[in-house]
Amino acid sequence: MRPDRREDDEVRALHSVLGLLNRADGSAQFSSGRTSVYSGVYGPVGARVYDEKLDRAYVEVRGRADAGPAGTADRWTESAVRETFERVVAAQLYPRTMVQISVQVREDDGAVDAAAINATALALIDAAVPLRDTVAAAACAVREDGSAVADPTLEEIRDARSIHTFAFAASDVSNIADLTSASICPIYVDSRGEFSVAEYDRCFELCARAAQRVLAFIRTAIEDKVSKESQIAGSS
Amino acid sequence: MSDVTDEKQQQQVAFAMHTFERIHHVEFQRRFLTQETRHDGREFTQFRPTHVVKGAISTAQGSATVRIGNTTVVCGIKAEVSEPDVNSPDQGYLVTNVELPPMCSARFRPGAPSEEAQVASEHIHRLFNGTAGSKGVVDLRALCIEEGLAVWSLSADIVCLKYDGNIMDAAIVALMAALEDLGLPSAQLDPATGVVSADRTKAAPLVLNKRLFPATFSLLDDAYLVADADDAEEQLATASLLVVLDASNRGALANMWKRGAGRVSSQTIHKCIDCAAQRMEALIKTL
* Tens digits of residue pLDDT in B87-128: 889 899 999 999 999 999 988 888 888 888 988 998 999 899
A225/B282 Cα distance (integer angstroms): 56
A133–B contact, CB cutoff 8 A: no
Q: Residue A158: CA atoms inside 13 Å, Cβ hemisphere, count? A: 6
B170/B73 Cα distance (integer angstroms): 6
How far is the alpha carbon of B152 from chain A, nearest alpha carbon, in Å?
23
Cβ pairs bridging A and B (under 8 Å) = 106
Question: Do the bridges between strand B224-227 and strand B62-68 make them parallel or antiparallel, or are there none, so unpaired?
Answer: unpaired
**Tens of pLDDT, residue by residue, chain A (236 residues):** 888 899 999 999 999 999 999 899 999 999 999 999 999 999 899 999 888 888 889 999 998 877 777 777 788 889 999 989 988 999 889 999 999 999 999 999 999 999 999 999 999 999 999 999 999 999 999 998 999 999 999 999 988 999 999 999 998 888 777 777 778 899 999 999 999 999 999 999 999 999 999 999 999 999 999 998 899 887 75
Residue B189, helix vs strand vs coil: strand
Given a cut of 60, whether residue B133 has pLDDT beyond it is no
Q: Provide the Cα torsion B43, B45, B46, B52; round to 10°.
A: 170
Of A88, A163, A183, the CB nearest to B131: A163
pLDDT of residue A173: 87
First to last CA, chain B: 53
Given a cut of 90, whether residue B66 has pLDDT beyond it is yes
C-beta separation of B241 from B279 below 8 A: no
Given a cut of 90, whether residue B242 has pLDDT beyond it is yes
For residue A175, give Cα distances in angstroms to A13, A165, A179, A187, A233.
Answer: 22, 21, 10, 17, 33
Chain A contact set for B265 (CB, 8 A): 182-185
Of B133, B210, B246, the CB nearest to A160: B133
A200/B20 Cα distance (integer angstroms): 43
A181–B contact, CB cutoff 8 A: yes
Q: What is the DSSP letter of B83?
A: P
A12/A25 Cα distance (integer angstroms): 29
Residues of chain B that touch chain A, judged by Cβ-Cβ distance less than 8 Å: 115, 118-119, 121-123, 125-127, 130-134, 210, 238, 241, 246, 249, 252-267, 269-270, 273
Strand partners, A195: B253
Q: What is the pLDDT of residues B136-164, one digit of tens each?
A: 898 888 888 888 889 999 999 999 999 99
Nearest 5°: the CA angle A95, A101, A106 is: 175
Given a cut of 80, whether residue B35 has pLDDT beyond it is yes
pLDDT, mean over chain B: 90
pLDDT of residue B132: 56
C-beta separation of A11 from A214 below 8 A: yes
In A76-187, beta strands by DSSP E: 97-107, 135-142, 148-150, 162-169
Inter-chain CB proximity A88 and B132 less than 8 Å: no
Given a cut of 80, whether residue B130 has pLDDT beyond it is no
pLDDT of residue B134: 64
pLDDT of residue A28: 97
Q: What is the DSSP letter of B235?
A: T
C-beta separation of A192 from B212 below 8 A: no
B5/A222 Cα distance (integer angstroms): 70
Of B122, B252, B260, the CB nearest to A83: B260
Residue B73, helix vs strand vs coil: strand
Given a cut of 60, whether residue B180 has pLDDT beyond it is yes
A232/A226 Cα distance (integer angstroms): 10
pLDDT band at B3 (very low <50, low <70, confident <90, very high): low
B272/B252 Cα distance (integer angstroms): 14
A112/A123 Cα distance (integer angstroms): 16
B250 phi/psi in degrees, rounded to 5? 50, 45
How far is the alpha carbon of B120 from chain A, nearest alpha carbon, in Å?
9
pLDDT of residue B2: 60
A157 phi/psi in degrees, rounded to 5? -70, -40
Mutate: best of B258, B264, B271, partner A, most A CBs <10 A:
B258
Sequential DSSP letters for A169-190: EHHHHTT-S-TT-TT---SEEE
